[in-house]
Amino acid sequence: MTRAWIWSVCLWIAMGAAVAGADAVAIRKVLPHYLDLQGRHALHPSLYERDAYQAHLRQNPAQCGGIRFDIQSKGRPDTRAPIYWRIELRTDSAPNPRVFEKPALARTRSSRWSQVTIDGEDYRRLGKIMAWRVTLVSGDRVWAEQKSFLWQ
């Protein structure tokens, strides 16, 4: 009797975890990278070199040609409506956040990386970026969100 009860409790817990994770959509990581005038975020394939080059680009904004958000997400929205990434940027040159949207590709249930690039004239009009928010949106519904520390 006790063994059957323990197995039934374990089964209910496992089913609850499977149902809770079935439609879970999450943004795991967002990496904003400045791009140089040639569209590179690093000169060498080393994390140390990438971080050093990013510090160089932050200190020399004239050498920046854009910014790219590398977004790691998990899961996919359970919807037939088109889904897209929304990037909101607070800058020192505008009182309201600037909004950029890009369609999200077909998603799998496993983890996946996406990229949203802001360059050219859009980047030149931004000014200094103070804070950002990334959301996965479908229609009026927000499926997942991640924001920088300074976003309020």
Sketch out the chain's domains with CATH numbers.
Answer: 27-147 (2.60.40)
Average pLDDT over residues 100-117: 80
For residue range 27-53, list pLDDT tens digits in order.
999 999 999 999 999 999 999 999 999
> Distance (Å, rounded) from C-alpha 152 to C-alpha 103?
25
Determine the straight-line distance between the first and last CA of the chain, rounded to whole angstroms. 54
On whether the CB atoms of residues 77 and 138 are closer than 8 A, the answer is yes
Any idea which of 3-12, 60-69, 100-109, 132-141 has the lowest mean pLDDT? 3-12
Question: Averaged over 75-90, what is the pLDDT?
Answer: 89
φ, ψ of residue 72 in degrees (nearest 5):
-100, 120
pTM metric for this prediction = 0.79
